[in-house]
Amino acid sequence: MDIFFSGSIRGGRSDVDVYATLIDILERHGTVLTEHIGTEGVEADEAAAGLTDTDIYEQDLAWLQQADVVVAEVTTPSLGVGYEIGRAVARETPVLCLYRPGAEHELSAMIRGNDAVEVTEYRTPSAVEPVLEAFVRRHREARDRR
């Protein structure tokens, strides 16, 4: 299963360690196309590789098209994450959003109020592993039946 992991970059990097742990967990259940989101120096790495914002946008859209499922960590609000979720919903790609309650920002109604998006509240990455595993397995089985 190809998994598009989505997490804040320019929206703020305070959850980067959480993203890295979630990506490690997801790698046990499929292929994460966007491992770079859990890397501390992602923007410096992209700049060193000579990537423009257009390159980044086009690469991300290509990965989104390839993805069987999207897992988005939405505790830190991010324009890019919201955009990726909207594009995934439009393509009917299954989306699971992970949100830690008690955060500075309440989760957007555009996410929590959207029936096409699953939202799971959690406290620690290890506590949410069974949810991630079940989400990927359910959609793998659905894909294999098609």
Q: Which span sits near ligand 5HU by CB under 6 A: 7-15, 23-31, 101-109, 126-134?
A: 7-15
Residues 9-38 that bind ligand 5HU (CB under 6 A): 9-11, 37
Interactions with ligand 5HU, residue window 59-78 (CB under 6 A): 60, 78
8: contact with ligand 5HU by CB under 6 A: yes
How many residues sit close enough to ligand 5HU to count as binding (CB under 6 A)? Answer: 17
Which residue in the block uniquely carries the two structure tokens 């029936």? 115
What length does the chain have?
A: 146
H or E, element range at 4:
strand 2-6
Compute CA distances 130 → 38, 41, 93, 122, 124, whole Å.
20, 29, 20, 11, 12
Q: Which residues are annotated as a binding site?
A: 4-10, 19, 84, 108-110
